[in-house]
Amino acid sequence: MRSIISEGSAKLKIPKTKKISKEMRVFYNPAMSLNRDISVLLLNSIDKTDLQIADPLAATGVRSIRFLKELNKNKIKRICINDYDKSAVSLIKENLELNKIKYDQNNNIIIQNLDANIFLLHSMGLDYIDIDPFGTPNLFLDAACKRLSRDGILAVTATDTSALCGTFPKACMRKYWAMPRRDSLMHETGLRILIRKVQLIAAQFSRAFIPIFSYSKEHYMRIFLKNYKGKNKSDETLKSHGYFNNAGPMWLGNLWDKHLTSRIYVNALKNKFFKNNKELTRFLKIIRDESKIDAVGFYDLSDICRKNKLKHLQKKEFVISKIRKLGYQASETHFKGEGIRSDMPLAKLINLMKNK
């Protein structure tokens, strides 16, 4: 049984199901629409055009169909849509037809039914690869890092947040070669651990993968890394790996390109589909603001109150404005509701929170 839904400007046939799970005949998760919104916005916000795009784990094809309908005219040179599941590939074809998109070599819209690694290793010169698996992306990192072209972008989703955020530290050590820590900073430290893992795989091929946009949301983490070739740049990247908050090693450099975060936010406000999506625009605004602050980690105001026996938890907005008045930078963080990202030293912040 199928139902027809719409997401962004795409219409989709999806299997009718009571519960979203890996066992679905062809996987479709409406909770990931924001993940796909941000991918569309990011590709429309970079300067590059004529992209060769790969969607190796495509499921219903929703992501590629949205790219074909929502990316600016000159963005796509070629798009390859792949899944190893035969029923997924049939559904991808039906969904392309439903959206009146012709697929063949002449249109540069290519559908394949291969294992994702074989698909990637047989592809050349990919400018954008989107690794969006169930659980860990590990299985696909080697081939994706090898096949991404110079200045290309690798997008990676990880849904195994229980390993990255420290519920299962042994799993994190085994899969991501780092010690996580389960506390209020766990989403940021987990995201940084994931970034380092991808960077280490890329470094084997003398490539430097630098984050341009990263976030953590609900049950998943998402990173976009730009490929800079060259052993010197790759060596430099490795120098930014280290420990923070008794966890790591992890990436201690920037999580975002701050010009890009601004462009993405502005483009969301200009877009007819996105501008009324309050969840999306608020999320992007917070990320834009926090990307301007050079600080690893953030302050959790409830933690500070508890540890320092402060009786009154002041409002976050009030604390942010007091920090700014003293000449430091401060913003909300998308990682946690009670969090503040700031370059103010902790001792000063505690003092500031003691005074009304």
Instruction: Kindly list the residues in this chain that would bind ligand SAM in the complex (CB under 6 A).
Output: 27-28, 32, 36, 57-60, 62-63, 83-85, 88, 115-116, 132-134
Q: Of 69 and 229, which has the nearer Cβ to ligand SAM? A: 69
Facing residues of 7 across strands?
Answer: 10
| Distance (Å, whole) CA 197 – CA 156 | 11
CB of 135 to ligand SAM, least distance (A): 9
CB of 57 to ligand SAM, least distance (A): 3
| Distance (Å, whole) CA 307 – CA 175 | 33
Q: Of 67 and 176, which has the nearer Cβ to ligand SAM? A: 67
User: 299-314 burial string, b = 16+ CB within 10 Å, else e?
Assistant: bbbeebbeeeeeeeeb
CB of 105 to ligand SAM, least distance (A): 21
Q: Of 33 and 108, which has the nearer Cβ to ligand SAM? A: 33
| Distance (Å, whole) CA 129 – CA 353 | 45
| Burial class of residue 152, CB neighbours in 10 A (0-12, 13-18, 19+) | buried
CB of 21 to ligand SAM, least distance (A): 11
Contact 17, 3 (CB under 8 A): no
Query: CB 142: neighbour CB atoms within 10 A?
Result: 16
Q: Of 201 and 319, which has the nearer Cβ to ligand SAM? A: 201
CA–chain centroid gap for 74, Å, is: 24
Q: Of 56 and 248, which has the nearer Cβ to ligand SAM? A: 56
Q: How far apart are the first and last CA of the chain?
A: 60
CB of 278 to ligand SAM, least distance (A): 22
Considering only CA atoms, which of 291, 284, 225, 229 is closest in space to residue 258?
A: 291
| Burial class of residue 154, CB neighbours in 10 A (0-12, 13-18, 19+) | buried
CB of 77 to ligand SAM, least distance (A): 21
Q: Of 19 and 309, which has the nearer Cβ to ligand SAM? A: 19
CB of 113 to ligand SAM, least distance (A): 9
Considering only CA atoms, which of 151, 185, 158, 225 is closest in space to residue 336?
A: 185
